[in-house]
Chain A
Amino acid sequence: MRHRPRGENIIRFDSVGLRYGLGPEVLRDVTFALPSGSFHFLTGPSGAGKSSLLRLMYLGLRPTRGRVVLFDRDIASTRRYELPALRRRIGVVFQEFRLLDHLTALDNVALPLRVRGVRESEIRKHVPELLSWVGLADQLGAKPSTLSGGQKQRVAIARAVIGRPDLLLADEPTGNVDDHIAMRLMYLFEELNKLGTTIVVATHNESLVSRFAHNPRLHLEHGQVTRVN
């Protein structure tokens, strides 16, 4: 993991606008910056554009207008072959998990390491460790189709953090788990945050947000982002 001084921005949006095809602008003039090492909630009503905003952050979409600066790189002027290196510094928990159905929990979590060319011996060591940490020690060989919603979610989270990302983006990571496990996952995120990972958790779970009210919050509504502290 790279150690960057706290306070330096890990990501910055300048007047970013986004529309899908010819539809209305989902995001308008979104401007904000996330300091390195921060932990933010991203809140807003359903359909406000939380997932879309995260998609721009993990480079799954290009903005229709405006500027995205990630790890001090202006994305618009970054060469295509340089993007994978940036993406590897980001861990993503997708709202719909996006696990590969034909792979076991272990292989799903191993994916970011395989993509990086990490040796199998390392993978066999670290992946089961992390999976037991999220309470799936006895599900290493299970395919996603045999896992519950909450278990899938934990596999997805494990996959997002296995590469020790500098930036972790989680889209409704506690949507399918009971309160107990939700708390456990939040503690995992806080643990990672203490180690230096910048974290954004998109959620509309108000009780979760208020229980971790010490973390700042970005609120998204009508295509605009406002800071709530």
Chain B
Amino acid sequence: MFGRHSDLPLAGDATSRFLPWLVALMVFLAAMAVSGAFAVNEVMSRWDHDVTGTVTVQVLPAGGERAEAATDERVRQAVDLIRAVPGVLAVKALDKARTLALLEPWLGGTDVVRDLPLPRLIDVTVDPDARIDLAEVADRLSHAVPGAALDDHRVWLSRLINLSRTMEWLAIVVVGLIGLVTSATVVYATRTGMAVHHDIIEVLHLIGAHDDYIARQFADRAFVLGLGGGLFGLAMAVPALSALGWAARRLEGGFLPSIGLPLAGYVVIGLLPLLAAGLAMLTARLTVHGALARMP
């Protein structure tokens, strides 16, 4: 690819000189987005693990007359609602006797205790693979059943996980946009190059060059420029990412689990310059083919 013959003096083109800088910036940004997504994914999978298993629903006792019956009704409603959630394996309401038995070591077994308005507990077993949106279930539950609430800590974790999933999607969109911008720039640079060298291209065309003979020369050039720019962008991204990682480790000890990039993350980031160069090459080639198709 590098020693390949070229008849077009593309290496001297002023118009394509900005291309490596742009690709460098794009690869740098993509590296940030990708490592962000991977780091968040790491953290999330650990939190996700904590959330799976069992969840507890607490139902506050109703007041007034016939309090007992009203509380039973709340528990029944909550059980029905939870049971309908996909991914829930088992729902088991602890009746009052069982709740009292659980509390006996602390409160004793007196009649006074028996008459206290105690909250009721519902044990929910969830499928670890189902990735239930607990935050959403908690919202529904508190709206539908007065006094019912899902375990606070876990709902909070679930909300964080939702946020991190959104961030993952955002990273994918960002990388997609970066690809689009790179492509658009390559299209522009290629079109400009073709206009500058129009006479040469026409001569090559007239002496019987296939479109691809011409397209390949632009594609090779775009690949070289893209790879150079991409490697430079990667070289800038590595110290930036190390600095971020170092800063994150200093934060640790708080609620953040240690932030580290998994191996797959390093692989993807390492491939970014090659991906950018490949994208530039493909875009240039298609652009030239499109333009040449209009020649007689």
State the A residues within 8 Å of B (CB). 58-62, 80-81, 84-88, 90, 92, 98, 100, 102-103, 107, 111-112, 114-116, 159, 163
Contact = CB atoms under 8 A, between A and B. Distances in A.
Which of A62, A86, A116 neighbours the largest number of chain B CB atoms within 10 Å of its CB? A116
Contacts of B213: 115
Given A60-B296, A98-B199, A100-B203, 11 more contacts: A59-B206, A60-B202, A60-B206, A85-B208, A88-B207, A100-B7, A111-B207, A112-B208, A115-B204, A115-B209, A115-B213
A61 B296 CA distance: 6
A115 B296 contact: no
Contacts of B202: 60, 98
A125 B296 CA distance: 33
A87 B211 CA distance: 13
Which of A84, A86, A107 neighbours the largest number of chain B CB atoms within 10 Å of its CB? A84
Contacts of B293: 80
A111 B206 contact: no
Which of A61, A115, A116, A163 neighbours the largest number of chain B CB atoms within 10 Å of its CB? A115
Nearest to A87: B208
Contact of A81 (B205, B209, B210): B210
A56 to B, nearest CB: 10
Nearest to A100: B200
B9 interface: yes
B46 interface: no
A114 B5 contact: yes
Contacts of A88: 207-208
Contacts of A116: 208
Interface in B183-213: 199-200, 202-210, 213
A102 B11 CA distance: 12
Contact of A92 (B9, B204, B206): B206
Contact of A87 (B5, B7, B9, B207): B207
B196 to A, nearest CB: 12
A102 B210 CA distance: 21
A111 B296 contact: no
B296 A92 contact: no
B210 A84 contact: yes
A98 B206 CA distance: 11
Contacts of A60: 202, 206, 296
27 contacts: A60-B202, A60-B206, A62-B296, A80-B293, A81-B210, A84-B208, A85-B208, A87-B205, A87-B206, A87-B208, A90-B208, A92-B206, A98-B199, A98-B203, A100-B203, A103-B7, A107-B7, A111-B7, A111-B203, A111-B204, A112-B207, A112-B208, A114-B5, A114-B7, A115-B207, A115-B209, A163-B207
Contacts of B205: 87
B204 A59 contact: no
Interface in B269-296: 293, 296
A19 B208 CA distance: 25
Contact of A59 (B5, B7, B9, B296): B296
B205 to A, nearest CB: 8
Contacts of B209: 84, 115
A166 to B, nearest CB: 12
Nearest to B292: A80
Interface in B1-28: 5, 7, 9
A85 B210 CA distance: 9
B216 to A, nearest CB: 12
Nearest to A80: B293
The 6 closest A-B pairs by CB, nearest first: A88-B208, A87-B208, A115-B209, A102-B9, A84-B208, A112-B207
B270 to A, nearest CB: 36
Contacts of A59: 206, 296
A58 to B, nearest CB: 6
Contacts of A62: 296
B13 to A, nearest CB: 12
A49 B246 CA distance: 75
Contacts of B200: 100
Contact of A58 (B7, B9, B199, B206): B206
A103 B293 CA distance: 26
B194 to A, nearest CB: 15
